[in-house]
């Protein structure tokens, strides 16, 4: 082979149209999409069961994303025999398909229900793609992570109901069969916004008892999401993460990731946060237990009466209902 690579030129000429088509599709489908993501719980129609839909590790997400677009986990060279989405679309024999995913709402409050409807059809004939598996994938940074699998019905439709804690982008993937080409739906995004009200509606009390407006948190939903990623990690007194936490250590760790520096103890965090009435609490607010002069526990409000908590020795970080009506709310700005 010559130094200038002339001997490579005939190889380039011999590339088949099919191989070039595969490489082109791979280049298109591996584009980066910047989007927020959140863990969320979804209910599959007909089963009555709930499943946790949470992002996986970056390594696993990378492998899954590669599988979705037909590449290898380590960027293997695409050829005409490549498997996965790009390879299957490169096969000219199966019938083209089209997949769409639509949310019943585009903007919701944290933890509000959203229903996503997926439809799979044959292109040209308009016939539904029936009784086939469709994967739901969530944007996980620059990667896509499969979080659920649905089955289309006799109309080519499948639905999934979920409660979102932060702005989330999803897509749907049909992996194809021997007679049907795989297809990828256009992404859909649901924006999660904390509810707001007139001045004073979510207010605390200033000196003299006058109501004052309490500004909403710009990082609340992100704090809930980051807290959810600590699920299952053990409680250890004095632990500050990332592998174990006590209650205030969990709070400090989560907000540090969001650029907020909180003191170490629950009592100090109580003093450092903005007071909010119970009726005005929002996801991401801190829930303090005890009395103002003796705070005994702190947790992160997740919405719908639940908190992320590192409770006590022998237990793990988990999502639990607020267990008493006596608590105080603090907001980190």
| DSSP collapsed to 3 states, 28-90 | HHCCCCCCCCCCEEEECCCCCCEEEECCCCHHHHHHHHHHHHCCCCCCCCCCCCCCCHHHHHC
Residue 75 has pLDDT above 60, yes or no: no
Residue 9 has pLDDT above 50, yes or no: no
Written as six digits, the tokens of 322 are: 């607020």
Task: Calculate mean pLDDT across residues 86-93.
Answer: 56
Residue 329 has pLDDT above 50, yes or no: yes
Determine the angle formed by the axes of helices 247-257 and 220-228, rounding to 10 degrees.
Answer: 120
Task: Calculate mean pLDDT across residues 13-25.
Answer: 41
pTM (global) more than 0.75: no
Residue 255 has pLDDT above 80, yes or no: yes
Residue 10 has pLDDT above 90, yes or no: no
CATH of range 15-23+31-189; options 3.40.50.300, 2.60.40.10, 2.60.120.200, 3.90.1640.30: 2.60.40.10
Q: Give the SS3 label for residue 81.
A: coil
Q: What is the pLDDT of residue 264?
A: 93
- The pLDDT tens digits for 154-203 are 999 999 988 776 678 889 999 999 899 999 998 888 887 755 433 333 33
Q: What is the pLDDT of residue 89?
A: 54
Query: Do 179 and 132 meet the contact criterion of CB atoms below 8 Å apart?
Result: no
CB-side exposure of 299: number of CA atoms within 13 Å?
A: 26
Q: Which residues of the chain are in CATH 2.60.40.10 domains? A: 15-23+31-189
Task: Calculate mean pLDDT across residues 34-40.
Answer: 36
Length of the chain: 333
Q: What is the pLDDT of residue 287?
A: 97
Residue 137 has pLDDT above 80, yes or no: yes
Tokens 């760790």 correspond to what residue? 253
- The pLDDT tens digits for 195-246 are 543 333 333 333 333 334 456 667 888 899 999 999 999 999 999 999 999 9
Categorize the per-residue pLDDT at 250 as very low, low, confident or very high, splitting at 50, 70 and 90: very high
Q: Which residues of the chain are in CATH 3.90.1720.10 domains? A: 213-331
CATH number of 213-331: 3.90.1720.10
């Amino acid at each position: 082979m010559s130094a200038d690579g002339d001997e490579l030129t005939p190889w380039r000429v011999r590339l088949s149209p099919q191989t070039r088509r595969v490489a082109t599709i791979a280049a298109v489908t591996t584009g980066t999409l910047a989007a927020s993501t959140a863990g969320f719980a979804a209910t599959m129609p007909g089963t009555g069961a709930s499943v946790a839909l949470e992002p996986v590790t970056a390594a696993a997400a990378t492998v899954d994303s590669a599988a979705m677009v037909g590449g290898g986990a380590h960027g293997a060279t695409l050829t005409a025999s490549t498997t996965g989405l790009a390879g299957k679309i490169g096969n000219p024999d199966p019938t083209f398909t089209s997949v769409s995913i639509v949310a019943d709402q585009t903007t919701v409050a944290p933890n509000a229900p959203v229903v996503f409807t997926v439809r799979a059809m044959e292109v040209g004939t308009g016939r539904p793609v029936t009784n086939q598996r469709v994967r739901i994938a969530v944007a996980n940074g620059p990667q896509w992570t499969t979080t659920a699998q649905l089955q289309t019905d006799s109309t080519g439709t499948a639905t999934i109901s979920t409660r979102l804690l932060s702005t989330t982008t999803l897509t749907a993937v049909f992996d194809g069969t021997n007679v049907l080409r795989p297809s990828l739906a256009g992404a859909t995004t649901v924006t999660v916004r904390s509810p707001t009200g007139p001045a004073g509606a979510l207010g605390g009390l200033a000196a003299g008892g006058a109501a004052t407006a309490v500004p909403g948190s710009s990082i609340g939903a992100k704090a809930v999401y980051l807290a959810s990623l600590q699920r299952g990690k053990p409680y250890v007194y004095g632990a500050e993460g990332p592998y174990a936490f006590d209650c205030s250590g969990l709070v400090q760790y989560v907000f540090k990731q969001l650029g907020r520096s909180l003191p170490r103890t629950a009592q100090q965090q109580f003093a450092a946060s903005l007071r909010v009435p119970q009726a005005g609490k929002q996801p991401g607010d801190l829930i303090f237990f005890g009395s103002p002069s003796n705070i005994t526990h702190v947790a992160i409000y997740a919405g719908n009466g639940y908190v992320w908590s590192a409770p006590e020795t022998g237990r793990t970080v988990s999502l639990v209902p607020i267990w008493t009506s006596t608590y105080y709310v603090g907001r980190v700005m």
